[in-house]
Structure formats: structure tokens, C-alpha cells
């Protein structure tokens, strides 16, 4: 169910098409809750996207609409993917963009995992 004031889920979005196998993706991991694949335009040596298999527009929609088991399974999958990519010792960053100010481009909830080099500050300061 869409969150009040936010757009409804659009089944033609690019990640929905990847989940349906209509568009290829470099798969990293899959289970009943999540599908993980390499970002097409990586911004770090490791840049993997993790998406839930259900129709959720954003984190707001996922948190409001998904069953607790799905939410737990999804976040466990995110941590497992990072661990399987051997990022735990060196560290990594998990990020989700939401809505206009978050600059969300694809309207299917997804988490970015970045790693493979020191990632610097979470947000650049104005004088950086
Ligand atoms: P957002 O700004 O929505 O959080 O990020 C969307 C991400 O999806 C971007 O990092 C972009 O590079 C990635 N992306 C867009 N289209 C495709 C695609 O067709 N395949 C893959 N693997 N990644 C994509």
C-alpha cells in the first residue's frame, strides 16, 4: 500500500524489471526476501544494490507496509551480502535514498552497499 502523499508503486521501474528477469543484472545474492546485484555505475570499488522482492517504493513504504518477517529478512540479507563480499573487517557503508531531497532515482526500495576503499565523511561538509 502506498504511503499517503507518495506515488504508488510503478511496476515498470527498472528494478522491478530486473526482478522479473526482463533486464540482466550481475547477481550477487538472492533469497526469499532479497535480491542483490552490482550497480551499473559503481561509485566505489564495491557498489552493490539490495532490493526486496515485494513492491515497495521506498524505505517509508517498506517500513509502513512490509510484514515484520520480510523487514527482518531483508536487513539480514543486506548484512549477509556485505559479509559475503568480505567487507566486514575493512568496513562498509549502507545507504538508501528516499524521495526528492534524497535524490531517489529508481522508485523501488533499495539499499546501496559501498566498500573496498576508505569512504570518507558520510556527507561532505560545505568547505570540503
Ligand atoms: P538511487 O538514486 O535511486 O538511490 O540509485 C539508483 C541506482 O541504480 C544508481 O546508483 C544507478 O547507477 C543504478 N541503476 C540504474 N539503472 C540500473 C540498471 O539498469 N542496472 C543496475 N545494475 N543498476 C542501475
> In this predicted model, what pLDDT tens digit does every residue of 76-114 receive, in sequence order?
999 999 999 999 999 999 999 999 999 999 999 999 999
Distance, CA 24 to ligand 1 centroid (Å)?
13
Task: Show the cell assigned to 87.
Answer: 567487507
49 alpha-carbon distance from chain centroid: 5
Banded pLDDT at 125 (limits 50, 70, 90): confident
Grid cell 566505489 in the structure block, residue: 44
At residue 1, does pLDDT exceed 60? no
Alpha helices per DSSP H over the chain: 14-19, 59-65, 68-84
Q: How many CB atoms lie within 10 A of CB 82?
A: 23
The three cell numbers of residue 82 are 556485505
The rounded percent of the chain whose pLDDT value lies above 70 is 94
Name the residue ranges covered by the structural domains of the chain: 14-115
Average pLDDT value for residue range 25-31:
98
Residue 3: the pLDDT is: 60
Over its C-alpha atoms, the chain yields an Rg (Å, rounded) of: 15
- pLDDT range class, residue 5, cuts 50, 70, 90: low
Instruction: DSSP letter for 11, please.
Output: T
Pick the CATH number of 14-115 from 3.30.300.20, 2.30.30.90, 3.30.428.10, 3.10.129.10: 3.30.428.10
Q: Which of 101, 106, 108, 113 to mutate to test the pocket of ligand 1 (most atoms within 8 A of CB)?
A: 106
Amino acid at each position: 500500500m502506498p504511503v499517503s502523499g507518495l506515488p504508488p508503486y510503478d511496476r515498470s521501474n527498472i528494478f522491478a524489471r530486473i526482478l522479473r528477469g526482463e533486464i540482466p543484472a550481475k547477481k550477487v545474492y538472492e533469497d526469499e526476501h532479497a535480491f542483490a546485484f552490482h550497480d551499473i555505475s559503481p561509485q566505489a570499488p564495491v557498489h552493490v544494490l539490495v532490493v526486496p522482492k515485494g513492491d515497495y517504493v521506498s524505505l517509508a513504504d517498506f517500513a509502513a507496509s512490509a510484514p515484520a518477517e520480510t523487514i527482518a529478512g531483508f536487513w539480514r540479507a543486506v548484512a549477509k551480502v556485505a559479509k559475503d563480499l568480505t567487507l566486514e573487517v575493512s568496513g562498509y557503508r549502507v545507504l538508501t535514498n528516499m524521495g526528492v531531497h534524497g535524490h531517489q532515482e529508481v522508485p523501488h526500495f533499495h539499499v546501496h552497499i559501498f566498500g573496498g576503499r576508505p569512504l570518507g565523511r558520510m556527507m561532505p561538509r560545505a568547505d570540503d
